[in-house]
């Protein structure tokens, strides 16, 4: 934190102070999410992988058009496109980096836009973070696919993480029931 | 039945004896429209697993060809396939993917149909039809025949199509490896997952009809990612022992009889262990030849594919000559511990879901083929579906039907023979005769 920010904080009332803490936290986490998105877009997948905690769960459940309401069951026996541990995420990164992953040969051009960031404190070290994304994947010449959705993350302050936080859990809701893409060979 | 293309012209697009395909069959709009009428309008098509609609009133919305069809469990436990279209102004009757209903009421003007598809009520009927209205003539358009085979619901629009069991023929023996391997039966894990492929439907089902040989070239990245760090890739070889089956009805199966590392890659450790430990049970139920099958793909023509040991069932809906939807279900052994079921299903999605380590490569190939078919030359330059053409194809002591080596393309040729017969023959009698003639011819070559 800058000394200017420190000086503002030290002169603030307790109410102000808490709000300024929230502001700074929101800024830190937004910057983390933007930097994470950039790691994916710049294809630094190994560094991206290092953002995930060893106990992480990366979940991308299937969604459905149900009679009564939108139905998504991330808990138990329903299908998920991804229900990954750190080890499985590692395999996906190994595949991407293998030079024989034909979906990414030559590499697609991707842009992950992150927005609508909301932060809630779980405790001093862990934060529940909701955000929205739009990921644009351009492949070869004319194949363009757009993935829009939300993420619910649990972020943990972690000095071992390359970006200061680790992702202890991520649930991605993709805004498709029928996935309108040739594959989900993309990190979201 | 109206078709916009000339049967003689279609016959020129595929030469089974030489194994030569004109790729226009994967790209031409008129051929696609003819397929909707003459293949999806007549063949037995997978509607859904029975477990999607366990109770009377349950429905599952699917496609037959490009037609929206509601698969509805009836009060007596039977199943009907109803065109999802109000007979009044043609609006969709049911928009949800699945659910439970007492009636199907159109939200436009309120015409309401019962579970059998009978038109039961028309708002202000006496006012708008003062001379009366024969509601019995305006029920939902209904599939002519619906039947089940070992937990799968199939339907056909054609009242003259042969019974389902005859249609399956010897392919049932192969499908049973997937459908009937355990005493406790199968459990559907969750529902269906759906994604699109910007490629012709035949390119996708063709792979499940026979093609195990593509894996070495198409899937090295998945092998690298899935194997233990200390695995020696240089020594990694896919199996070569196996067989392939081709049916006169266009069905096909590919089988590896040595699992090797493949079994370790798909199914996950729990699924793999259950698979191995249950082999004596499978052998008791199905015999040694089928228990020895380590990797299996089956396609019931046109679009009902099964894949072991992933335990995945698929259908492929045509969306146009150059686009398809894949719908996939996971079936696990019902008697297995819950953890095994979950692990198996999750592993299958990791390997062969839309985000699967293997599946993504396949999507690239199918899309890659379609990309070459925009050009006039690419669209007319012959493609070879000729592998194994000089191999012996015929009876085998272990397997029923026409059988060849695992790396042949016999079953692809069989699929396109049936495709051609359905497009060019007007009646099922003619279709059967064409198949018999082809098989007599095949015995000579």
Q: With an 8 Å Cβ cutoff, are B97 and A95 in contact?
A: no
Q: Is the pLDDT of residue B14 over 50?
A: yes
| Least confident window among A24-28, B230-234, B252-256 | B230-234
Per-residue pLDDT averaged across B237-257, rounded? 90
Angstrom distance (rounded) from CA B439 to CA B419: 15
Q: Does residue B278 sit within a domain?
A: yes
Q: Is B228 helix (H, G, I), strand (E, B) or coil?
A: coil
Which of B81, B113, B148 delimits the end of a domain? B148
Whether residue B97 lies inside any domain: the answer is yes
Indicate whether B347 belongs to any domain: yes
Judgement on whether residues B183 and B139 belong to the same structural domain of the protein: no
Same domain, B140 and B188: no
What residues pair up with A143 in beta bridges, in sequence order?
A139
Question: Does residue B387 sit within a domain?
Answer: yes
Residue A77's pLDDT is 58
- B18-69 pLDDT tens trace: 999 999 999 999 999 999 999 999 999 999 999 999 999 999 999 999 999 9
Host domain of residue B108: 46-148
Residues B121 and B173 in one domain: no
Domain assignment present for residue B271? The answer is: yes
pLDDT at A67 over 80: no
Would you call B350 and A100 a contact, using CB atoms and an 8 Å cutoff? Answer: no
Helices (H) and strands (E) in chain B, counts: 17, 21
Nearest residue on chain A to B340, alpha-carbon basis: A77
Which of chain B's residues have a Cβ under 8 Å away from the Cβ of A94? 224-225
Of A100, A143, A185, nearest to B355 by CB-CB distance is: A185
Using the 3D structure, point to which of B98, B119, B148 is the last residue of a domain: B148
Q: How confident is the model at residue A8 (pLDDT cuts 50, 70, 90)?
A: low
Out of B189, B194, B221, name the one closest to residue A77 (CB).
Answer: B189
Check whether residue B62 and residue B207 sit in a common domain: no
C-alpha distances in angstroms, A81 versus A86, A174, B190? 16, 10, 12
Q: What is the largest CA-CA distance in chain B?
A: 82
Tens digits of per-residue pLDDT, B201-235?
999 999 999 998 898 899 888 888 877 777 776 66
Q: Kindly state whether residues B409 and B314 are assigned to the same domain.
A: yes
Cα separation of A65 and B246, whole Å?
38
B7 occurs within a structural domain: no
A102, A179, A182 ranked by CB distance to B198: nearest: A182
Chain A residues closer than 8 Å to B346 by CB: 80, 83
Say if strands B112-113 and B104-105 run parallel, antiparallel, or are unpaired.
Answer: antiparallel
Q: Which residues contact B95 (CB under 8 A, 6 or more apart)?
A: A65, B61
Query: Do the Cβ atoms of B361 and A103 come within 8 Å?
Result: yes
The pLDDT of B324-346, averaged and rounded, is 95
B117 and B78 fall within a common domain: yes
Which of B85, B115, B148 is the endpoint of a domain? B148
Average pLDDT, chain B: 92
**Same domain for B60 and B18?**
no
Whether residues B288 and B186 share a domain: the answer is yes
pLDDT in tens, B107-163: 999 999 999 999 999 999 999 999 999 999 999 999 999 999 999 999 999 999 999
pLDDT digits (tens, 9 = 90+) for B356-394: 999 999 999 999 999 999 999 999 999 999 998 877 777
Q: How many domains are contained in chain B?
A: 2
In this structure, the answer to whether residues B292 and B366 fall within a common structural domain is yes
CATH at B359:
3.90.380.10
Q: Does A83 touch chain B (CB under 8 A)?
A: yes
Range B180-187 average pLDDT: 97
B389 and B278 together in one domain: yes
Q: Is B311 left (phi over 0), alpha (psi -120 to 50) or beta?
A: left
> Does pLDDT of B332 surpass 50?
yes
- Asked if residue B67 and residue B198 are part of one domain, the reply reads no
Residue, of B366 and B236, whose pLDDT is higher: B366
Q: What is the CATH number of the domain that holds B95?
A: 2.102.10.10
Contact A62 B222 (CB under 8 A): no
Q: Is B393 inside a domain boundary? A: yes
Average pLDDT rounded to a whole number, residues B69-81? 98
- pLDDT for position A9: 62
Interface touch A79/B190, C-beta < 8 Å: yes
What is the Cα–Cα distance from A161 to B235, expressed in whole angstroms?
Answer: 37
Give me the mean pLDDT over the B317-346 stretch. 95
Smallest Cβ distance to A183: which of B101, B225, B355? B355
- Span B314-325, average pLDDT: 98
| pLDDT at position A59 | 94
Tell me whether A88 touches chain B (CB under 8 Å): yes
Is residue B262's pLDDT more than 80? no
Residues B143 and B176 placed together within one structural domain of the fold: no
The yes-or-no verdict on residue B444 having pLDDT over 70 is no
The closest of B179, B161, B160 to B171, measured between CA atoms, is: B179
Q: Is residue B2 a part of any domain in this protein? A: no
Distance, in Å, from the CA atom of B390 to the CA atom of B195, rounded to the nearest integer, reads 38
Lowest mean pLDDT among A62-71, A163-172, B13-22, B138-147: A62-71
């Amino acid at each position: 934190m800058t000394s200017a920010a420190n000086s503002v904080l030290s002169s603030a009332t307790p109410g102000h102070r808490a709000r300024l803490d929230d502001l700074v936290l929101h800024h830190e986490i937004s910057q983390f999410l933007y930097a994470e998105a950039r790691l994916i877009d710049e294809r630094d997948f190994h560094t991206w992988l290092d953002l995930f905690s060893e106990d992480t769960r990366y979940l991308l459940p299937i969604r459905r058009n149900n009679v009564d309401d939108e139905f998504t069951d991330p808990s138990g026996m329903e299908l998920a496109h991804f229900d990954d541990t750190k080890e499985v995420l590692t395999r996906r990164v190994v595949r991407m980096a293998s030079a024989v992953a034909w979906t990414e040969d030559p590499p697609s051009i991707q842009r992950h836009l992150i927005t609508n960031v909301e932060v809630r404190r779980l405790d001093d070290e862990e934060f529940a973070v909701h955000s929205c994304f739009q990921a644009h994947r351009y492949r070869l010449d004319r194949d363009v696919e757009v993935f829009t959705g939300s993420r619910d993350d649990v972020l943990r302050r972690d000095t071992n993480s390359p970006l200061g936080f680790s992702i202890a859990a991520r649930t991605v809701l993709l805004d498709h029931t029928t996935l309108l893409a040739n594959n989900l060979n993309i990190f979201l | 039945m109206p078709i916009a293309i000339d049967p003689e012209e279609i016959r020129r697009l595929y030469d089974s004896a030489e194994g030569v395909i004109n790729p226009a069959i994967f790209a031409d709009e008129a051929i696609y429209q003819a397929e909707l009428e003459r293949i999806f309008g007549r063949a037995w098509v997978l509607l859904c697993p029975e477990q999607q609609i366990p109770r009377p009133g349950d429905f599952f919305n699917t496609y037959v060809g490009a037609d929206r069809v509601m698969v509805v469990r009836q009060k007596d436990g039977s199943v009907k396939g109803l065109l999802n279209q109000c007979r009044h102004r043609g609006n969709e009757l049911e928009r949800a993917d699945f659910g439970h209903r007492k009636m199907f009421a159109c939200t436009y003007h309120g015409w309401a149909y019962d579970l059998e598809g009978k038109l039961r009520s028309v708002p202000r009927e006496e006012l708008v039809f003062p001379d009366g209205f024969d509601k019995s003539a305006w029920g939902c358009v209904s599939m002519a025949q619906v039947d089940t085979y070992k937990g799968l619901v199939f339907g056909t629009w054609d009242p003259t199509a042969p019974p389902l069991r005859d249609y399956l023929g010897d392919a049932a023996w192969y499908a049973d490896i997937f459908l009937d391997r355990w005493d406790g039966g199968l459990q559907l894990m969750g529902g269906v997952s759906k994604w699109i492929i910007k490629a012709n439907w035949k390119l996708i089902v063709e792979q499940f009809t026979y093609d195990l040989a593509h894996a070495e070239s198409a899937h090295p990245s998945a092998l690298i990612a899935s194997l233990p760090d200390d695995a020696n890739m240089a020594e990694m070889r896919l199996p070569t022992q196996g067989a392939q089956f081709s049916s006169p009805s266009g069905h096909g199966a590919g089988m590896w009889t040595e699992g090797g590392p493949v079994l370790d890659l798909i199914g996950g450790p729990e699924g793999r262990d259950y698979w191995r430990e249950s082999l004596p049970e499978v052998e008791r139920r199905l015999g040694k030849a089928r228990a020895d099958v380590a990797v299996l793909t089956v396609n019931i023509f046109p679009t009902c594919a099964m894949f072991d040991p992933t335990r995945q069932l698929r259908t492929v809906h045509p969306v146009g000559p150059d686009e398809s939807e894949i719908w996939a279900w996971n079936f696990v052994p019902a008697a297995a511990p819950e953890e095994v079921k979950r692990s198996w299903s999750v592993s299958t999605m990791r390997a062969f879901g839309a985000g699967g380590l293997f599946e993504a490569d396949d999507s690239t190939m199918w899309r890659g083929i379609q990309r070459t078919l925009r050009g006039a030359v690419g669209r007319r330059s012959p493609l070879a579906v000729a592998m194994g053409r000089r191999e012996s194809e015929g009876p085998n002591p272990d397997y029923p039907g026409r059988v060849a080596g695992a790396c042949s393309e016999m079953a692809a040729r069989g699929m396109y023979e049936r495709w051609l017969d359905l497009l060019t023959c007007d009646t099922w009698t003619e279709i059967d005769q064409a198949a018999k003639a082809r098989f007599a011819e095949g015995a000579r070559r």
